[in-house]
Chains A and B, each alone.
Chain A
Amino acid sequence: MKNSGRKGSSFSSVSLSPLLWPLVALGLILLFNFIFTAGFFQVRLQDGHLYGSVVDILTRSSPVMLLSLGMTLVIATGGVDLSVGAITAIAGAIAAVSLQSSGLTGSGGVALPLAIALPLLASIACGLWNGFLVAFLGVQPIVATLVLMVAGRGIAQLITHGQIISISNSAYHFIGGGYFLGFPFSVTLVIGVLAVVIGFSRKTAMGLFIEAVGNNPVASRYAGVNTVGVKLLVYAVSGLCAGLAGLVISSDISAADVNNSGLYLELDAILAVVIGGTVLSGGRFQLMGSIIGALIIQALATTINTRGVPVQLTLVIKAMVVLAVCLLQSPSFRARFRQSTKPRLPRITGAEGVTLKAQSDSGPSGSGGL
C-alpha cells in the first residue's frame, strides 16, 4: 500500500512496515518481563481455561482494544470520539436494568438476547448522535463528542438511579468472564470485531473513503465520496464498539457501575490508536497497530503491577510514552535528526519567519524518502 510504504520510509530509507515500531515497543516490554519477571510467560491450563500473565494482559486490555478499533476509524476521518467512556456506562446501565427482575418488564426481566441488543442499539444511537453533530452541523469533533462525554454519564446515572446495579445472570457473565475454547471470551470477541472491521475497511472501498475524508473532506466530497455518510458511519461504529466494551466491562464485574465504567478509557483508546501509528490528524489508519497499542498500554500496567512498583508510576510512564510517540511522529522532530549535520539553532529558535522555511523544508524531505 502507498501509505504503508510512506510511513515506514520516513524513519529510514528502507521501507518498513508501519507496525514495526509498535511491535518493537511491545517486544521490548515482553523481553524485559521475560528476563526480569519469573514465570511471566507461564500459561497454565486449569479447568480447561487458560491462566497466566499474558492471558491476563489480553483479557484486561479487551475493552480498550474494542474502543480503539472504533476510535481508529473516527481518527482516520480526522475526528476524535471523547464520548466512548460515557457510552460504555450507558450500555452497561441499560443491560443491567433490563436484566433486573423489577426492570423494564416489571417481572423477571427481559430475555438475554434483548438485554444485549438493547444496549448495543442505544450505543449505535449515541454514535449516530455524535455523527449527526459532526457531519450535519459541522461541529468540531472534540466539542461535538464532549456533549455526550459530559451528559452521557448523567444519562447512565439516570437509568440506574445513581446506584450500582448488580447483574446475577450467569449467561451474561460469560461475555466478560467466560471462556471460549479455553480462551477468554472477551478476547474472542475482540478478534471477531477486528476481523469484521478489517474485512469491512480493507476488502471494500470503505477504508479508502474513510482515508479520503480524513485527508481532505472537501476534495473527497467533490470526488463523489459521501462524506456525511462516511462520518455518520464511523461514529456509529465507534458507538457500537463502545457498547460492546460496556457489555464486557459490566459483565466482567457482574454489575453496572456507571460512575467508574470506562472512566478515562477514551484517553487510553486514543493513546492506543496514536501508539499504533495512526496519526491524530487523520488520513490513514492502522487497525492492527491500535490493537498493539492497547496491548502495550496494558502490558506496561501489568509489568508495573507485577514488579511491585507503585501504581501511580503508571501515569508518569504513560505520559512519557505519549510524548515519545508524539515526538517520533512529528515531522519537525524527525527533520532535526535527519539534518543534524547542519547547524540546528538558527532553524528553530531564530526569527519567526524562519519557521516557515523549516516547514517547507520538511515537506520535500519527508516525501523524498519515498
Chain B
Amino acid sequence: MARLPKLQTQFIPILATLATFLLLGLMGSLRYTGFLSPGVFLNLVDDNAFLGIAAIGMTFVILSGGIDLSVGSVIGLTSIVSATLVEKHHVPPGVVIPLVLALGTLLGAGMGALIRFFELAPFLVTLAGMFLARGIALMISLESIQLTNPFYQAVSAFRVPLGGALGLPANGLVFLGVLGFGIYLASYTRFGRNTYALGGSDSSALLMGLPVGRTKIGVYALSGFCSALAGVVYTFYTSSGNASAAGGLELDAIAAVVIGGTLLSGGSGYILGTWLGVLILGMIQTAISFENTLSSWWTKIIIGGLLFAFIVIQRSVIRPSSKTA
C-alpha cells in the first residue's frame, strides 16, 4: 500500500464502496428481474430517506472525530412532537416544522457545547442525549399518532414527475437536497475544511488557529438538525408520529458511514460515500425481500460482514504513523 501515491490511497475506501454498490446492483439484476429498474431505485431513495439524512449528519460528526448516538431518538422525538402539535393542538405545519428543526439543532448544539467546554467523551454525552430525547418523546405520548392534516397528506402524495409512471417522492427530494448541501458544506466551505482538520488532529487544528470549539459545536448542531429533518421526513413517510420510531437507527447510520468509506477515527471520508453506503444497506434489504427463502436476520449478518470488510480495508489504507492514535 505504501507504494501507491497518496491521492490514490485516500480514495481506496470510497472506491471500494462504489465497487460494492455496483457489484450488488449487478448481482441483483442478474438474479432478479427488475432489480435495477428506475422504480426500484426510486423506492430505494425514498425508503431510506430518513436514514440517509441522519447518516449525512452523522458523517460530519464522525469526520470531526466524534460520534452521535442520539440520532434515532431525535427522530422519534421530532416525529412525536410534530404529530402532537399538529393533531392535538392544531398548530399549522408551517410553524411546527421550523420549530422541531430548531429543537433538534438546539439539542445537538447543547451536546456539542458539553463536549467542547467540559471535554466530555462524545460517546457518553450523546448517550445521555439519546436517553433524554427518547424519554421525553415517550413521556409526550406512548401511542403513535396518526397524521390527518391535509399538508402532511399532500406531501406524502407529492411526486416530482420523471416521465411515465415514475416520480420522485418528496422525501427522496429532501434526501437529495440534503446530500447536495452536505457535499457543498464538506468540500467547498470553511466549516467543512475545519471539520476535516479537527478529525485529522484536534490539537494540530487548535495550534493552526482554526476555530476548533465553534466547529465542534457546529457539527453536533448540524447532526441534530439532520436528525430532526429526518424525523420530519419520517412523519411524511409514515403519516404518523411515533415516540419509539427509529430505535437503533444510530447503528444503521454509523454502519452506512463506515461502509461509505469514512474513517471512524475522523478526518477522511466523503458525503457521497455515505449516500452510497445508505443505498448499499437499502439494496441488501431489497435483495433479501426479493429472495423469499432468505430470512430477515441475514440482513444483520451481511451488514456486519460488510462492516468487517470495510474496517479491514480502512486499516490497510491508514498510514502507519496514525496507527497509534
Binding site for B on A (CB under 8 A): 80, 133, 137-140, 142-144, 146-155, 157-158, 161-162, 217-218, 267, 270-271, 274, 280-281, 310, 312-320, 322-323, 326-327, 330-333, 348, 352-353, 355-356, 359
Q: B residues within 8 A CB of A323?
A: 114, 125, 128
Q: Is B142 an interface residue (CB 8 A)?
A: yes
Q: Return chain B residues, CB-CB under 8 Å to A150.
A: 251, 255, 300, 303-304, 307
Nearest chain B residue, comparing its CB with the CB of A149: B251
When distances are taken between beta carbons in the complex, the residues of chain B under 8 Å from A155 are 297, 301
Please state if B300 and A80 are interface contacts (CB–CB under 8 Å): no
Residue of B with least CB distance to A267: B127
Q: Which residues of B contact A318 (CB under 8 A)?
A: 128, 131, 135
Please tell me if the beta carbons of A326 and B300 are within 8 angstroms of each other in the complex.
no
A194 to B209, CA, bound (A): 49
On chain B, the residues within 8 Å of A320 by CB distance are: 128, 132
Question: For A326, what are the chain B residues with a Cβ–Cβ distance below 8 Å?
Answer: 114, 118, 120-121, 124-125, 128
Q: Is the interface of B mostly helix, strand, loop or mixed?
A: helix
Across the interface, name the chain B residue whose C-beta is closest to A258.
Answer: B297
| B15 close to chain A: CB less than 8 A | no
Quick one: which of B246-279 are within 8 Å of A by CB?
251, 254-255, 258, 264-265
The distance in angstroms between the C-alpha atoms of A144 and B264, with both chains bound, is 11
**Is the CB–CB distance between A312 and B138 below 8 Å?**
yes
Q: Among A149, A150, A158, A320, which residue has the most Cβ atoms of chain B within 10 A?
A: A150
Q: Is the CB of A327 within 8 A of B118?
A: yes
CB distance from B63 to the nearest CB of A (A): 15
Contact A151 B304 (CB under 8 A): yes
Min Cβ gap A335→B in Å is 10
CA distance A353 to B205 in the complex (A): 11
Report, as a range, how many residues of chain B touch the other chain: 35 or more
B118 touches A330 (CB 8 A): yes
Q: Mark B20-49, 1 if CB is under 8 A from A, else 0.
A: 000000000000000000000000000000
Q: How far is the CA of A217 from the CA of B134 in the complex (A)?
A: 37
Partner of A162, one of B258, B264, B297: B297
For the complex formed, measure the closest distance between the CB of B53 and the CB atoms of chain A, giving whole angstroms: 20
Q: Chain B residues near A352 (CB, 8 Å)? A: 206, 209-213
Residue on A with the closest CB to B304? Answer: A151
Chain A residues contacting B290 (CB-CB under 8 Å) are: none
Q: Is B304 within 8 A of A142, CB to CB? A: no
Is A322 a contact partner of B135 (Cβ separation < 8 A)?
Answer: no
The docked-state distance in angstroms from the alpha carbon of A274 to that of B130 is 17
**A332 vs chain B, min Cβ distance (A):** 5
Give bound CA distance, A143 to B311, whole Å: 8
| With A157-B297, A161-B295, A280-B124: A312-B304 Cβ-Cβ less than 8 Å | no
Chain B residues within 8 Å of A152, by CB: 304
Is B119 a contact partner of A154 (Cβ separation < 8 A)? no
- Identify A315's interface contact among B114, B132, B251, B311, CB under 8 A: B132
